[in-house]
Amino acid sequence: MAYVIAIANQKGGVGKTTTAVNLAASLAHYEKKVLLIDLDPQGNASTGSGINKGSVKLGTYQVLLDETDIASAIIHSDSGNFDVLAANRSLAGAEVELVQEIAREMRLRNAIQTIRDDYDYIIIDCPPTLTLLTINGLVAADGLLIPMICEYYALEGLSDLIATMRKIRQSGLNPNLEILGVLRTLYDSRSNLSAGVSEQLEQHFGEYLFKTDIPRNIRLAEAPSHGMPALAYDARAKGTEAYLALAQEIQQRIDKKVKK
């Protein structure tokens, strides 16, 4: 049964989507069956997986609004070798339309239950907000992966995300939601600031901080414009290697939990 990872941080541009796409491709490289769910109306995870957003008739929006079953909406990323539930522009309206629906926070979770056995990992790319779409992602997830840039204000706003996570646990919507890990992204090992903030993160998060960090690497930024994960675009790039290492670290972390 799949382990469901939500990638979230309401800060914009911290590498959520880059992590979602490249982690999906890296886990697929290790022969895992992966589904990537694009929960962001920007649809960047879909585009970065080589999917033309404009042609998506059935996607995350239609699943959330119960207009289709999830299995009928899943498509395949050839460049990434994983499955995708894609976002199209209509997802922007979901936030408003869902408000009137019953069990609005449970929509994605309920949909995922029906296909969970078909995958090893389900990865959810959340938008940079803490509104209903992200809440659907957190309610559906087993673990939360928080990407962070090692800059001065890195920790600012994080308390809102942690508070939301606690509320979701306490409300009973998803009592077992845990932090899978905190990931340093766009990391510059030569910068004193990065090193200083990284030390703070280590103190603050302890074992939650992934040992693997993701370096700032131009190939990671270029790959989406070619509609492919970095693994397909440049298998030897430093960024590609970092995401492969992250995939291994995550598999070990999750295997340990399952054995406990």
Ligand X SMILES: Nc1ncnc2c1ncn2[C@@H]1O[C@H](COP(=O)(O)OP(=O)(O)OP(=O)(O)O)[C@@H](O)[C@H]1O
Give contact residues for Mg ion (rule: CB under 5 A): 16-17, 44
Residue numbers 43-72 binding ligand X by CB under 6 A: 44
CA angle 197, 199, 201 (to 5 degrees): 70
Question: Exposed (0-12), middle (13-18) or buried (19+): which is 70, by Cβ within 10 Å?
Answer: buried
Q: Which does 220 bind (CB under 5 to 8 A by kind): ligand X, Mg ion, none?
A: ligand X
Could you tell me the two tokens for 102? 């019953």
Which residue in 62, 185, 194, 212 binds ligand X (CB under 6 A)?
185
Q: How far is the CB of 22 from ligand X (least distance, A)?
A: 9
Binding of ligand X by 184 (CB under 6 A): no
Q: Can you tell me the distance from the alpha carbon of 163 to that of 148, in angstroms, rounded to the nearest whole number?
A: 17
Site pattern 233..252 for ligand X (x: CB under 6 A): ------x-------------
Nearer to ligand X, 16 or 107 (CB): 16
Q: Which stretch binds ligand X (CB under 6 A): 49-57, 61-69, 74-82, 211-219?
A: 211-219
Which residue in 141, 214, 232, 250 binds ligand X (CB under 6 A)?
214
Nearer to ligand X, 140 or 220 (CB): 220
- Cβ count near 234 (within 10 Å): 18
Q: Which does 24 bind (CB under 5 to 8 A by kind): ligand X, Mg ion, none?
A: none
Q: Closest residue (Cβ) to Mg ion?
A: 17
CA angle 170, 173, 175 (to 5 degrees): 55
Q: Which stretch binds ligand X (CB under 6 A): 56-64, 83-91, 166-174, 217-225?
A: 217-225
Amino acid at 160: D
Q: How far is the CB of 86 from Mg ion (least distance, A)?
A: 14
Task: List Cα–Cα distances, 58 to 4, 24, 81, 87, 91, in angstroms.
Answer: 21, 21, 20, 9, 11
Which residue in 104, 216, 226, 253 binds ligand X (CB under 6 A)?
216
Site pattern 5..24 for ligand X (x: CB under 6 A): -------xxxxxxx------
Q: Which does 103 bind (CB under 5 to 8 A by kind): Mg ion, ligand X, none?
A: none
Cβ neighbours of residue 257 under 8 Å, at least 6 residues apart? none
Question: Exposed (0-12), middle (13-18) or buried (19+): which is 169, by Cβ within 10 Å?
Answer: middle
Q: Can you tell me the distance from the alpha carbon of 188 to that of 42, in angstroms, rounded to the nearest whole number?
A: 27
